[in-house]
Structure 1
Amino acid sequence: MSSFIVDRITADGTSLECDVRPSADLERFVTGDPFRIDYDRSIEDVPEGILAIPVLANVCPVAWANGADVYVDEVDAAFARALEDVKASLLSMYDFLEGGTLYARRTIDPEMSSQPGASAGEAAGGSTSDPKSALLFTGGVDSTCSYVRHREERPTLVSVRGWTITPDPSDDEKWNDLRARVSSFADERDLETAFIESNVLSALDHPMLLAHYKRHVDGAWYSSVGHGLGLLGLCAPMAYVRGVDDLLVAATHWDGIDLEWGSRPDIDDHVRWTGTRCHHDAYDLTRQERLDLIADYVGTSTPELELQTCNVRMDGNCGECEKCYRTAVGLRLAGLEPTAHGYPFADGDYDEIRAALDSGEWVLGQDERHMWGDIRDRVRETEPSSENEAAFFEWLVEADLDELVADSRPPLSHRLFRAGARNAPTRVYNGVYPALKAAKIGADRVRSRR
């Protein structure tokens, strides 16, 4: 029977560690490294049922992709019910997911007696008092918009290392840059911060997950399937310690875009555990409308606000990647000068954008297709301010965005490598894993940094 066993959960000071033991048929999806998560406050007093949440939130989707069950000694009852709801959403979204059951020896709910031996999905959740909010935050368009919307609540700003910034020492500088930037943003507004570091995507064999499932999704494993539940779940011990009752995650997409994506209202709004509920925020605003809201905030409160959205750097924006160019154009359409908010940009760059989109230089998905479509809708209502801008606007209005997406694909060598890894015996795959990792085929660099 296919299964994962979550075992030996320990909390030592600020560090959480546990083992995940797969059945033989699932060994290729884990590396054998213990799951580790580091927080910036002690978690030694956090109940085991809450401590189990970070690993369950990341392992369960892998189990559901293989029709496998997951076993754990203890789990918070509210989170057990949340997993059932999230599983239903993901199974309705993806045909390749098969489902599975979480079994716990004990489901813990302060308002209910324990239920030894029960299927964990049969329990219900609890609540807490003394409300406090927190927001997953990087300083990008989406999370900054959510901060502006909820600034009266004074949310704790939460940043996570383990996805777009890996735990590898080569990413130390990026993590330090993000921490410094978020801390500065928080200090200027007298907000608290929380920083979380995890090896979740190296404890899970993410290159193998990508090799197996990339053909089923538009993005990659974590962006398309796991990151809403996974990132929120990593926050559970932090939220328990800090008394956070409302945990916000900023929307990437918006109402009317029905894309298969790992963070959506029908996923994130289900996630909960005793004392905390999670919410998918600003789904009612398009990306351009979020920039409009930020522009209003800049005009009334923070004229020197800088955004950070770059897919290449964390110490500023490169100004040359697709995300930087797209954000710079959006800022102009919102009435802001990109150079004043972190983006080197000049009129001549419109020619660079058109050339890159026309040539398929950028690997685009349906995600970006809708982002550029949103820009195009605003372009139709905007008077260009220069000849270059007018020429670009005219081209964009007539461009076939579906064709631009279809013409951009990962290199054939990457697709062949994934197919080979997918079909190789585990022993053979383990031999080529270092090369696979070095080629960054497994890197899930999300295209929409929050």
Structure 2
Amino acid sequence: MSSIAIDRLETDGSTIECEIRPSADLERFFTGEPFRINYDCAIEDVPDGVLAIPVLANVCPVAWANGADVYVDEVDATFARALEDVKASLLGMYDFLEGGTLYAKRTIDAEPASGAAAADGSDSALLFTGGVDSTCSYVRHRDESPTLVSIRGWTIAPDDSGAEDWRHLRERVSSFAAERDLETAFVETNALEALDHAMLLAHYKRFVDGAWYSSVGHGLGLLGLCAPMAAARGIEDLYVAATHWDGIDLEWGSRPDIDEYVRWTGTECHHDAYDLTRQERLDVIADYVESEAPGLELQTCNARMDGNCGACEKCYRTAVGLRLSGLEPTAHGYPFAEDDYAEIRRALEGGEWVLGQDERYMWADIRDRIREADPEPESPREQAFFEWLLQADLEALVDEAEPPLSHRLFRAGARNAPTPVYNAAYPVLTTAKNGLDRIRGR
């Protein structure tokens, strides 16, 4: 019987570490490295049932993909019930998921944090990067003065290669928070090092539009990472900004029917701004810029964390969206010139960017704004781009962005290789992952 056991869960001040012990048939999906997570607050008084949430939130989707049961000593009762709801949503979304059962020696109803831990700061928190979605959610909930939570271990690597990116993100978020008298919380984990994300991608990429974590695991996984911190700080409401919006029915790892179910004793999670398209979120930000934050800069780049490159698909897409919301991109972090419109068209038509269905919807959202608002172009180049986009076949542009055949064959080989052979080839697979596993941050 396929199974995954969570063993030797230990805490040391602000750090959690535990062992993940899979049955032999599931070993290829784990590296053998202990699961670790570090907080910037003490968690020693947090109940074991809540301390187990981060690893369970990241391991259980892997178990469900293989019909495996998960074993743990203790779990928060509220979270155990939440897992059943999230599992039902994911199984309804993906045919390849099989399900499984969580077995705990003890299921506890923990006492919510109270007293000084909750009194020192806000009782709400928001996962925050400084991008369009999380900035819009901050604007919507700024009256709550939410604690801004940033996580290292997904888009920013937990090893030395991610150190500079993490420093840039911390500095940017800390500055944003200080200007608004907000608290911050910084979380670091090796979750996607303990899970063999390269093998998960190789095995399941054929079933999903993005990568494993973006398509399956990240709503539950990222929110679950916050549980001990939320318990220690007395956080009652935890917000995660929506990537998509009502009317987009895409298979994605963070949706209302996942995130809204995630909860544990004392904390409820919320999938925020699902009622707004990306362009409408930029409108919210534009109103905030006009009324309160004229110098606001966004950070959305897929290529760097110390500013926006201005040349990747996401930078261009955000710059055009800012223009349509009445903001000048160069005033808010995006180098942009009229000549860039021709470059955007050339790159889209030439299939230079690997696009998923969500990018298609986002460019369609921009096209809808052009069609509905009929904005006055600022230049002949802008007018020519608008006219092209109104007629472009966006579905065909996505179809032309299929990853190379060599990458697809490599993934197929990894799926079918015996575990010892795969382990020997792991460095090569990891290198390939860097090129084809683009974990999308919207």
Q: Above 0.5 in TM-score?
A: yes
8 Å CA contact 2:49–2:110 kept in 1: the answer is: no
- Secondary structure in structure 2 of the residue aligned to 1:170: helix
8 Å CA contact 1:68–1:100 kept in 2: the answer is: yes
Corresponding pairs, count:
435
Query: 1:297-308 counterparts in 2 under 5 A?
Result: 297-308=288-299
Partners in 1 of 2:338 and 2:435 — Cα distance? 36
- Secondary structure in structure 1 of the residue aligned to 2:433: coil
- Secondary structure in structure 2 of the residue aligned to 1:410: coil
Match of 2:227 in 1: 236
User: Once the two structures are aligned, what percentage of the paired residues are identical?
Assistant: 78
Deviation at 1:26, TM superposition (A): 0.3
AA aligned opposite 1:51: L
AA aligned opposite 2:77: A
Match of 2:268 in 1: 277
Match of 2:75 in 1: 75
Q: Which among 327, 335, 358 is matched to residue 336 of structure 1?
A: 327
8 Å CA contact 2:113–2:231 kept in 1: the answer is: no
1:419 aligns with 2:412: yes
Match of 2:218 in 1: 227
Post-superposition, which runs of at least 4 consecutive aligned residues in structure 1 deviate over 4 A? 126-131, 441-444
Match of 2:29 in 1: 29
Partners in 1 of 2:437 and 2:156 — Cα distance? 10
8 Å CA contact 2:407–2:436 kept in 1: the answer is: no
Deviation at 1:110, TM superposition (A): 4.2
8 Å CA contact 1:223–1:444 kept in 2: the answer is: no
Partners in 2 of 1:306 and 1:270 — Cα distance? 32
Deviation at 1:443, TM superposition (A): 6.7
Match of 1:115 in 2: none
1:404 aligns with 2:377: no
Distance of aligned partners of 1:267 and 1:336 in 2 relative to their CA distance in 1, 3 Å threshold: same
Q: Which among 242, 247, 270 is matched to residue 251 of structure 1?
A: 242
Partners in 2 of 1:64 and 1:234 — Cα distance? 19
Match of 1:137 in 2: 128
Deviation at 1:445, TM superposition (A): 3.4
Deviation at 1:416, TM superposition (A): 1.2
Match of 1:100 in 2: 100
8 Å CA contact 2:137–2:273 kept in 1: the answer is: yes
AA aligned opposite 2:44: E
AA aligned opposite 2:343: E
Deviations for 1:12-33, whole angstroms, at most 9, x for unmatched residues? 0111000010000000000000
Partners in 1 of 2:203 and 2:19 — Cα distance? 23
Deviates more, 1:391-400 or 1:437-446: 437-446
Partners in 2 of 1:346 and 1:134 — Cα distance? 37
8 Å CA contact 2:39–2:188 kept in 1: the answer is: yes
- Secondary structure in structure 2 of the residue aligned to 1:440: helix
Deviation at 1:412, TM superposition (A): 1.9
Deviation at 1:127, TM superposition (A): 9.8
What residue ranges of structure 2 are gaps of 5+ in the alignment?
none
8 Å CA contact 2:136–2:284 kept in 1: the answer is: yes
Q: Which among 112, 128, 145 is matched to residue 154 of structure 1?
A: 145
AA aligned opposite 1:232: L
Partners in 2 of 1:172 and 1:441 — Cα distance? 17
Partners in 2 of 1:447 and 1:311 — Cα distance? 8
AA aligned opposite 2:32: G
Partners in 2 of 1:127 and 1:441 — Cα distance? 40
AA aligned opposite 1:43: I
AA aligned opposite 1:224: S
Match of 2:312 in 1: 321
Distance of aligned partners of 1:163 and 1:445 in 2 relative to their CA distance in 1, 3 Å threshold: farther
Deviations for 1:351-399, whole angstroms, at most 9, x for unmatched residues? 0000000000000010100000000001112221110000000000000
Match of 2:387 in 1: 394
Partners in 1 of 2:312 and 2:37 — Cα distance? 31
- Secondary structure in structure 2 of the residue aligned to 1:314: coil
Match of 1:16 in 2: 16
- Secondary structure in structure 1 of the residue aligned to 2:32: coil
Partners in 1 of 2:345 and 2:5 — Cα distance? 51
TM-score by length of 2: 0.97
AA aligned opposite 1:422: R
Match of 1:346 in 2: 337
Deviations for 1:206-264, whole angstroms, at most 9, x for unmatched residues? 00000000000000100000000000000000000000000000000000000000000
Deviates more, 1:328-337 or 1:409-418: 409-418
1:294 aligns with 2:289: no
Deviation at 1:440, TM superposition (A): 2.6
Partners in 1 of 2:2 and 2:136 — Cα distance? 42
Match of 2:156 in 1: 165
TM-score by length of 1: 0.95
Match of 2:3 in 1: 3
8 Å CA contact 1:338–1:345 kept in 2: the answer is: yes
Distance of aligned partners of 1:110 and 1:439 in 2 relative to their CA distance in 1, 3 Å threshold: closer
8 Å CA contact 1:128–1:274 kept in 2: the answer is: no
Partners in 1 of 2:146 and 2:318 — Cα distance? 25
Deviations for 1:95-129, whole angstroms, at most 9, x for unmatched residues? 00000000000000148xxxxxxxxxxxxxx8989
